[in-house]
Structure 1
Amino acid sequence: MSPLPPAVSAAVAAALGAAPADAVPVGGGSINHAARVTLADGRTVFVKHHPGAPPGAFAAEAHGLAWLAAAGALRTPEVLGVGEEPGARFLALEWIAPATPVDRRGAGATPAERFGRGLAALHRYGAPSFGLDRDNTIGPLPQSNTPCDTWAAFLAERRLLPLTRMAVDGGGLGPATARAIEALAGRLPDLCGPPEPPARLHGDLWSGNAILDADGGPVILDPAVHGGHREVDLAMMRLFGGFPPATFAAYAEDHPLAPGHEDRVELFQLHPLLVHVVLFGGGYAASVERVVRRYA
């Protein structure tokens, strides 16, 4: 019998045309439950579910995966079904048997280079605007993607300032830090580097969201997509490590970065650091304060 909750199991059966016969829990991040599910017709699929998932969150993730796949640059799991009924919200994806993660020890240069070149192609494919035609989430947090005319305006108005308000309301940041972030937001046009067209961003590209399939090909998962500055994905990749130098070298060779990009890494890490303050508090507030002091 499937260990999926009965409501989720029934919803998956209705969407995929076959009932879950067995399910084995697998890693699905820190928010949702996830399982490798064998269906009665023999197919194996990945099912992510959570009874308290925000309405529309799984549909937004499915849209994001399709939006990334449209670039033809990096593999994403095929979306098989989405359930939005209360108590039975789920996302069913193609099961991709993983090899090893994008090498975390610096070996395996060929997969690392393939990932770097694929990411360059994804970014170069572009986006219609700084933003997206729909909102989505990053983890469990709502993420407004209403387009802005410039990257600096989008970063300030859709990312840094809303998250700062959440962090203050949740007790993770004090008012003095919030005022400093507001002042920094006003200086972003001078800090974000030379103008670039909107890139097609994954939006939450830490090492856990990049794996290798059984053939050694790179796969990206769990996006928080939008059109934005391409250095954002690269800054997120550096924040918690996990990507070898060969990945960044291959990217830069294929899609050279603008002058001063090294000076913008921490600036573009401020958004994910604020996300972590809202979700986890702790020492992330000190990291935010350090970054704000550097640029303010």
Structure 2
Amino acid sequence: MEELIQKALSSSDKVSNNSLIEKIIPIGGGCIHKAWCIHFQNDKKVFAKSNHIDNINMFKFERECLSVLKRFANKSYICVPKALDLISYQNISILFLEWIDLKQSQQNLLGKGLALLHKSSSEWSPKKFGWEKEGFIGSSTQIRGWDNSWGEFFVNYRLRPQLIKAKAWGVRVDDYEDVLRYLSSYLNDHDPRISIVHGDLWSGNCGSTRNGLGSLYDPASYWADREVDISMTKLFGGFNRDFYQGYEEIWPLDKFSKDRTDIYNLYHLLNHANIFGGSYKENSLKILKDLRSRE
């Protein structure tokens, strides 16, 4: 693979800046892609993600999301890596990103930066919820489309597609139509401002840089209620009090936001159930049952 990356880079001055490669080191890249740190002789480092050529649309979506996040990110608080190039070579596709040195540190600026991103993007939103092109949430498809009503969008473009996939492990969408109708009405009454969201904001997809700024990467963005990001930070843990205090200092959440946490995280739990199975199935069904009791 290192040799393939070297050959692919020979056609891209955008990444190498005409410097020779010193070494390519494999690093942890999650369960979908392989990841690499490329060291050049001019001391520059670049992050690379590789996958089969058939999965190049995943990289195209990620590149687009990073570009939009970078547009609205306040550089004094948060850093979003720049996509340097996307190359197809033989049977692989490779996404090259700006290298960012990360470390474990306080999360106050990450929280503030996320709030500023949500707030600034809401002032330039397309006035409807959704995304123009088909995307991905993990290895699953995140379908494209738009709706002026948040409830209809979240139910029809996020929850329903996952419930349809869940048929493979015994879920019948018809059994939950009453829940979906309730959620659609409830979220329409909420009527949130439209913001760009990271879309897959667990602790493995964000961090802090060596100079203390927050950083966002591996997004699954769309125009949505900003609370979908805050809700997911509570799904798997990893976010501390500094993060939430930083967010609240910039753009406080309303007092009912916690009531929507399980609704928004149901999307991710169903997705995990459809991909990985296991306890995610039971957790998804429990939330569906709890939501039915709210009606």
TM-score, normalised by the number of residues in structure 1: 0.88
| SS state at 1:28 partner | coil
Stretches of structure 2 lacking an aligned partner (at least 5 in a row): none
- Aligned residues of 2:115 and 2:251 also touching (Cα < 8 A): yes
Instruction: Please report how far the alpha carbon of residue 42 of structure 1 lies from its aligned counterpart in structure 2 after TM superposition.
Output: 4.3
The one-letter code matched in structure 1 to 2:151 is A
Measured against aligned partners, the alpha-carbon deviations of 1:244-295 in whole angstroms (never above 9, x if no partner) come to 0221122123212233111111111000001101110011011001111111
- Aligned residues of 1:194 and 1:258 also touching (Cα < 8 A): no
Moved beyond 6 Å, runs of 4+: none
Aligned pairs (5 A) from 1:237-276 = 237-276=233-272
Residues in 2 aligned to 1:30 and 1:174: alpha-carbon distance in whole angstroms: 26
Aligned pairs (5 A) from 1:24-103 = 24-39=25-40, 42-51=43-52, 54-73=55-74, 74-84=78-88, 87-100=91-104
Residue 180 to residue 12, structure 1, CA distance change in 2 (3 Å) = farther
Measured against aligned partners, the alpha-carbon deviations of 1:200-231 in whole angstroms (never above 9, x if no partner) come to 10000000111111101110110000000111
| SS state at 1:222 partner | coil
| SS state at 2:145 partner | coil
- Aligned residues of 2:53 and 2:92 also touching (Cα < 8 A): no
Q: How many residues align?
A: 280
- 1:121 matched residue in structure 2: 116
**Higher strand residue share:** 2
Residues in 2 aligned to 1:5 and 1:141: alpha-carbon distance in whole angstroms: 30
Residues in 2 aligned to 1:279 and 1:213: alpha-carbon distance in whole angstroms: 31
- Aligned residues of 2:154 and 2:184 also touching (Cα < 8 A): no
The one-letter code matched in structure 2 to 1:160 is L
TM-score, normalised by the number of residues in structure 2: 0.88
Residues in 2 aligned to 1:258 and 1:27: alpha-carbon distance in whole angstroms: 38
Residues in 2 aligned to 1:64 and 1:148: alpha-carbon distance in whole angstroms: 19
Measured against aligned partners, the alpha-carbon deviations of 1:177-212 in whole angstroms (never above 9, x if no partner) come to x33443322112332252122111000000011111
- Aligned residues of 1:34 and 1:47 also touching (Cα < 8 A): yes
Residue 234 to residue 86, structure 1, CA distance change in 2 (3 Å) = farther
The one-letter code matched in structure 1 to 2:186 is L
- Aligned residues of 1:48 and 1:91 also touching (Cα < 8 A): yes
- 2:208 matched residue in structure 1: 212
Residues in 2 aligned to 1:43 and 1:140: alpha-carbon distance in whole angstroms: 31
1:151 paired with 2:150, answer yes
| SS state at 1:89 partner | strand
Residues in 1 aligned to 2:175 and 2:186: alpha-carbon distance in whole angstroms: 15
Residue 95 to residue 55, structure 1, CA distance change in 2 (3 Å) = closer
Measured against aligned partners, the alpha-carbon deviations of 1:124-161 in whole angstroms (never above 9, x if no partner) come to 12232311222211112111131111111111111111
| SS state at 2:10 partner | helix
| SS state at 1:81 partner | strand
Residues in 2 aligned to 1:53 and 1:28: alpha-carbon distance in whole angstroms: 18
Q: Please say which of residues 130-139 and 179-188 is displaced more in the overlay.
A: 179-188
Residues in 1 aligned to 2:144 and 2:196: alpha-carbon distance in whole angstroms: 13
- 1:137 matched residue in structure 2: 136
Residues in 1 aligned to 2:165 and 2:71: alpha-carbon distance in whole angstroms: 33
- 1:223 matched residue in structure 2: 219
- Aligned residues of 2:34 and 2:51 also touching (Cα < 8 A): yes
The one-letter code matched in structure 1 to 2:25 is V
Q: Please say which of residues 248-257 and 265-274 is displaced more in the overlay.
A: 248-257
Coordinate RMSD, CA, aligned? 1.9
Measured against aligned partners, the alpha-carbon deviations of 1:41-66 in whole angstroms (never above 9, x if no partner) come to 54210000012652321111011001
- 2:180 matched residue in structure 1: 185
- Aligned residues of 2:112 and 2:247 also touching (Cα < 8 A): yes
